């Protein structure tokens, strides 16, 4: 129970002035302020983002930066290669010089037949379609197509004798494939019927010596 400090009269709880003498009651104005609930720190406007959010933003920014740098690098390499690439063509022979090496291609059937490093079946004629010679760095690939008046069996028998250690596979359609991995070349020969005779494709892959 509270009493007025001026006249000693009994005070009603919550009153701001004495009902007898009219004197103000000390501490009455602060009671309402003290009852106000404190503001939560998390709800204060302008709170800085958490450390986890900062980390995510940094990672996203780094990924974007790496992507931009990668695209710029690829563009620079592409421009550099284009500026330093030369293409020379003479007939069926094409030579391409790049910063990474020189590539040469040819569709001359006679040249391809010579570069195979394989004996051509006697009497067979080289075909322009299917002939190619390509060299890049130390790897050389040669392919040539031929036609013969002889049957598939005779052509296959000829090349089996030339490559006794080769892997040979045949099909019901009178075709055969001969694959030889004997050094210095890897040789693949495909023989199939063509009219009254046969046609065959020879591919050779070799590596240039130093």
pLDDT tens sequence across 190-210: 999 998 899 999 998 887 655
With 60 as the cut, is the pLDDT of residue 104 above it? yes
pLDDT tens sequence across 39-48: 555 445 555 5
Contact at 8 Å (CB) between 187 and 179?
Answer: yes
pTM beyond 0.75: the answer is no
Percent residues over pLDDT 90 in the chain: 17
With 80 as the cut, is the pLDDT of residue 162 above it? yes
CA 85 to CA 65: how far, in whole Å?
30
Identify the pLDDT of residue 37: 47
pLDDT tens sequence across 20-41: 777 777 665 444 444 444 555 5
């Amino acid at each position: 129970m509270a009493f007025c400090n001026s006249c000693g009269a009994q005070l009603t709880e919550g009153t701001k002035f004495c009902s007898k003498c009219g004197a103000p009651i000390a501490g009455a104005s602060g009671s309402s302020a003290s009852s106000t609930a404190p503001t939560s720190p998390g709800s204060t406007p302008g709170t800085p983002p958490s450390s986890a959010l900062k980390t995510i933003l940094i990672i996203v920014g780094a990924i974007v930066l790496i992507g931009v740098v990668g695209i710029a690098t690829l563009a620079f390499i592409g421009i550099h290669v284009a500026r330093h690439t030369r293409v020379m063509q003479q007939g069926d022979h094409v030579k391409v010089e790049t910063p990474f090496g020189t590539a040469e291609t040819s569709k001359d059937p006679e040249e391809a037949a010579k570069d195979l490093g394989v004996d051509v079946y006697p009497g067979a004629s080289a075909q322009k379609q299917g002939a190619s010679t390509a060299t890049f760095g130390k790897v050389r690939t040669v392919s040539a197509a031929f036609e013969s008046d002889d049957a598939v069996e005779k052509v296959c028998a000829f090349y089996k004798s030339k490559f006794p250690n080769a892997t040979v596979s045949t099909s019901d359609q009178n075709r055969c494939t001969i694959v030889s991995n004997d050094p210095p070349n890897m040789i693949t020969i495909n023989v199939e019927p063509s009219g009254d005779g046969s046609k065959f494709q020879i591919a050779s892959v070799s590596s240039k010596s130093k």
